[in-house]
Amino acid sequence: MKRFRAFLNKEFLHIFRDVRTMMILFLIPVFQVLIFGYVIKNEVKDAKVAVLDFSGDAMTAALVSKLDAANDIEIVKTFSSYDQIEASFRANEIKAAIVFENNFAEKFNSKKTVDLQIILDASDPNLANLLNSYISAIANNYAQDKNIGAAKINVSVEPRMLYNENLSSAYMFVPGTMALILMVITALMSSISIVKEKEMGTMEILLVSPLKPIQIIFGKLAPYAILSIINAVSIIIIGNLIFGVPVLGSPLLLLFVSFVFILMALSLGLLVSNIANSQQVAMFISMFGLLLPTMLLSGFIFPIKNMPLALQYFSYIIPAKYFLTALKSIMLKGLGISYIWKEVTILILMTIAFIGISIKKFKIRLDS
Amino acid sequence: MNNSIEIYNLKKSFNTVKALDNLMLTVEQGGFYGLIGPDGAGKTTLMRIITALLLPDSGSIMVGGLNPVKDYKELRLKLGYMPGRFSLYQDLTVEENLSFFAKVFDTSIEENYHLIAPVYSQIEPFKNRRAGKLSGGMKQKLALSCALIHKPEILILDEPTTGVDAVSRRDFWEMLSQIRENGITILVSTPYMEEAVLCDKISLMFDGKIINSGTPTEITSKFKEKIFILKTLHLREILKIARQMPELKSVNSFGQNLHLVVRDNLVEITEIESFIKKSCDYDFKIEPYQAGIEDCFIDYLESVENV
């Protein structure tokens, strides 16, 4: 135990003394969340909206002028068919279209319920989301003013565009960034720190010392596990305070799932360090083998559903995919463990497999 | 007397290259043993097998009564090892490095201070300096302190003085002789032949084999031919001329001088002088000389080449 503590102490000294390591550990995560957050976040400001009015009565006219009068919406076009809406979306002239069904006022007054359809450009999910709630609010306000409580305007939303059809990734940048950062810190940094010992020749001395392989491995991984947890928590806090990304589910479950993912990433880092003999190689493998798939194939940036079939199958071996699904469920949908036990189990099994291989492959000598 | 290291018929190959070829070596307990040989002779491979970092292909090996192949765990407590490359943590201070290795071996700097004092006291004034900022000589002293801190029975040093200035090298060897007074067996390798005279026993190593073993005087006394030293300012010119004299078995430059080995004691100084003076009028001086280890080594290499 004394040996292990000495080793751990040494590892923390390495981390705290290296400016680059400290930057990667503490500055980059914050910047990454802020950058992703601000890039994705959009204010609704003079959003261009078109109207397709099948009714053309006084009520729809009043609603349109009310919408146009609102600060952030600008009615730029009035159409007479759905085809025109489609063309206008393609030309990128509008961000949303509002469709009134025929005999709008009549239905409102007699049936007490009437349909209003909002078609949104979902390629910009945040803006689409905001526009949706904005337009719905105005319409419902209007309905309440007209007919105290009794009649309702049914707002149905129809997102359009080639991808992101269910708008589920409106807040995806926080879970996505978390997966990415935890991957960078844990897998990349821990593999580099192990390979560094090989490269500097210090591994030779460690192997000749009474330190057990398992002490060396855990001594290397533990500091990064601790620092990653700190990072995960700060990402969630920044996401919540600055961008309003909710944590609807249990924070404890969230921490648990993050910790499982961290362990998984650490075991991957260990595996990389077994293969790589220099820091450059370790960096390369981590970048192309771990970070890029995490970014591109996990569903963080591109939804898996819209990928070619081969890539969809490939995504099953990307650990971040399961982490993202679990995170989304907890943070955005408020679901409990019973909904995500599959993802968590897969992550745990992956961890056990990677650690098993790594410990078995850990070289107690210099060759063979 | 017990032996600390016993090696019989040790073989090790890397792919097709034979690194060790039927190597035999015995180091007595408490001995100060030198492995002398040029780069590529197999010194590092041998030391790595002794420290259980590499497995031999065949042959038997005992280190401190243990077999490095099987008992490597117990062996690690008995061994102190200083690899050829500086292998300490450059971002840790002198004291942090030493204290880390002390704790890893379950001891403390205080406990074994007396052992490392002759070495460590010289770098102690810089104990808060990062190891990466030390000079070459100081790095070696720190590495030696770290290898010694757990009071090993056997100290294995792989070319500890390579890349270190002449003064630090002499210091280092003096410290080694002080360390052995504690009863620690020392096995040290070096490509610098002149350092070897400080060991009680040496082995000359070449091409994975030990070509000659014994005390330094034993080895040099095996050198039977007459040998002269020639001092001159025109080394290259005179080297060319001397090599044409058939009675000289070999003429080689050693630093600023030439060593002339006479074939079967055929000629004396005066005859060599007149032979050289026939061809040039440079100033030079020839004196009798006692053969060193390097002369023995070169003599061996030339006899192998001529076969």
Task: Tell me the average pLDDT of chain B.
Answer: 88
Instruction: Confirm or reject contact between B87 and chain A (CB < 8 A).
Output: yes
What's CA A111's distance to the chain center, in Å?
43
- A178/A283 same-domain check: yes
Domain B224-290: which CATH class? Answer: alpha beta
Q: Which of B20, B70, B79, B91 should be substituted to probe chain A, the one whose Cβ sees the most A Cβ atoms within 10 Å? A: B91
- Beta bridge partner(s), residue B212: B204
> Are B60 and B8 contacting, i.e. CB atoms less than 8 angstroms apart?
yes
Question: What pLDDT sits at residue A11?
Answer: 93
- A189/A297 same-domain check: yes
Q: State the residue for tokens 């809406």.
A: A85
Which of A111, A129, A160 terminates a domain? The answer is A160
> Are B159 and B35 contacting, i.e. CB atoms less than 8 angstroms apart?
no
Residue A150 resides in a domain: yes
- A15/A79 same-domain check: no
User: Model confidence over A91-127: pLDDT tens digits?
Assistant: 778 888 888 888 888 877 777 777 888 888 766 666 7
The answer to whether the CB atoms of B53 and A204 lie below 8 A apart is yes
Q: Look up residue A27 and give its DSSP letter.
A: I
- Listed by start position, the domains of chain B span 3-215, 224-290
- A286/A310 same-domain check: yes
Q: Which of A3, A194, A208 should be substituted to probe chain B, the one whose Cβ sees the most B Cβ atoms within 10 Å? A: A208
Closest Cβ opposite residue A209 in set B89, B90, B104: B104
Instruction: Confirm or reject contact between B135 and chain A (CB < 8 A).
Output: no
In CATH terms, are B3-215 and B224-290 the same topology? no
Question: What pLDDT sits at residue A168?
Answer: 43
How many CB atoms are closer than 10 A to CB A333? 13
Pick from B231, B305, B297, B225: which is nearest to B266 by CA? B225
Instruction: Give the closest-approach CA distance of A31 to chain B in angstroms.
Output: 27
CB-CB neighbors (< 8 A) of A9 in chain B: 100
Q: Which residues of A touch B (CB under 8 A)?
A: 2-3, 5-7, 9-10, 13-14, 17-18, 200-202, 204-205, 207-211, 364-368
Instruction: Confirm or reject contact between B91 and chain A (CB < 8 A).
Output: yes
Among all residues of chain B, which has the CA nearest to that of A215? Answer: B104
Instruction: Give the closest-approach CA distance of A207 to chain B in angstroms.
Output: 7
Going from the C-alpha of B280 to that of each of A83, A196, B239, B274, B277, the distances in angstroms are 107, 59, 12, 10, 5
Going edge to edge, which strands form the sheet with B201-206?
B79-82, B154-157, B185-190, B32-36, B201-206, B209-214
Among all residues of chain A, which has the CA nearest to that of B149? Answer: A209
Residue A269: domain span: 2-39+171-361
Question: What pLDDT sits at residue B257?
Answer: 87
Instruction: Give the closest-approach CA distance of A6 to chain B in angstroms.
Output: 6
Closest Cβ opposite residue B104 in set A18, A210, A366: A210
- A240/A305 same-domain check: yes
pLDDT mean over B144-158:
93
A·B CB contacts under 8 A: 75
- Residues (pLDDT < 50) of chain A are 161-170, 368
Question: The CATH number of the domain where A57 resides is what?
Answer: 3.40.1710.10
Pick from A232, A216, A217: which is nearest to A354 by CA? A217
**Hey, what long-range contacts does A36-40 have (CB within 8 A, 24 or more apart)?**
A36/A173, A36/A174, A36/A176, A36/A177, A37/A173, A37/A174, A37/A238, A37/A239, A37/A242, A37/A243, A40/A125, A40/A126, A40/A173
User: Model confidence over B21-36: pLDDT tens digits?
Assistant: 889 999 999 999 999 9
Going edge to edge, which strands form the sheet with B284-288?
B248-254, B257-262, B227-232, B284-288
Question: What pLDDT sits at residue B243?
Answer: 86
Residue A367 resides in a domain: no
Least confident span in A163-172, A229-238, B55-64, B128-137: A163-172
- A95/A146 same-domain check: yes
Handedness of CA A107, A113, A116, A117 (dihedral sign): negative
Pick from B173, B158, B160, B182: which is nearest to B29 by CA? B182
What's CA B266's distance to the chain center, in Å?
34
Beta-strand (E) ranges in chain A?
47-53, 73-79, 96-100, 113-121, 152-160
The answer to whether the CB atoms of A210 and B106 lie below 8 A apart is yes
**Taking 50 as the threshold, does the pLDDT of residue B65 lie above it?**
yes
CA distance A7 to A219: 6
Instruction: Give the closest-approach CA distance of A210 to chain B in angstroms.
Output: 6
Closest Cβ opposite residue A208 in set B53, B88, B89: B53
- A276/A356 same-domain check: yes
- A240/A355 same-domain check: yes
- The fold adopted by the segment(s) B3-215 is Rossmann fold (3.40.50)
> Are A3 and A215 contacting, i.e. CB atoms less than 8 angstroms apart?
yes
Closest Cβ opposite residue B53 in set A13, A207, A211: A207
Which DSSP string do the residues of B83-134 spell out, in sequence order? -SS--S-TTSBHHHHHHHHHHHTT--TTTTHHHHHHHHHHHGGGTTSBGGGS
Pick from B299, B222, B226, B229: which is nearest to B265 by CA? B226
Question: What pLDDT sits at residue A164?
Answer: 40
CB-CB neighbors (< 8 A) of B12 in chain A: none
Which of A160, A185, A205 terminates a domain? The answer is A160
CA distance A137 to A31: 34
Residue A368 resides in a domain: no
- A22/A55 same-domain check: no
> Are B53 and A204 contacting, i.e. CB atoms less than 8 angstroms apart?
yes
- A220/A97 same-domain check: no
Question: What pLDDT sits at residue B120?
Answer: 92
Please state the domain count of chain A. Answer: 2
Residue A166 resides in a domain: no
CA distance B53 to B65: 17
- A128/A53 same-domain check: yes
Q: Which of A205, A206, A220, A364 should be substituted to probe chain B, the one whose Cβ sees the most B Cβ atoms within 10 Å? A: A205
Going from the C-alpha of B79 to that of each of A208, A276, B140, B154, the distances in angstroms are 8, 29, 18, 5
Pick from A170, A145, A144: which is nearest to A157 by CA? A170
Instruction: Confirm or reject contact between B55 and chain A (CB < 8 A).
Output: yes
Pick from A156, B65, A331, A97: which is nearest to A340 by CA? A331
Pull the structure tokens for residue A323: 């982490």
How many CB atoms are closer than 10 A to CB A102? 12
Question: What pLDDT sits at residue A163?
Answer: 36
Which of A134, A160, A186 terminates a domain? The answer is A160
Going edge to edge, which strands form the sheet with B17-28?
B17-28, B3-14, B58-63
CA distance A116 to B276: 115
Pick from A331, A278, A12: which is nearest to A169 by CA? A331
pLDDT mean over B246-256:
84
- A129/A197 same-domain check: no
Residue A313 resides in a domain: yes
CB-CB neighbors (< 8 A) of A13 in chain B: 91-92, 96
- Who wins on pLDDT, B199 or A131? B199
Instruction: Give the closest-approach CA distance of A199 to chain B in angstroms.
Output: 10
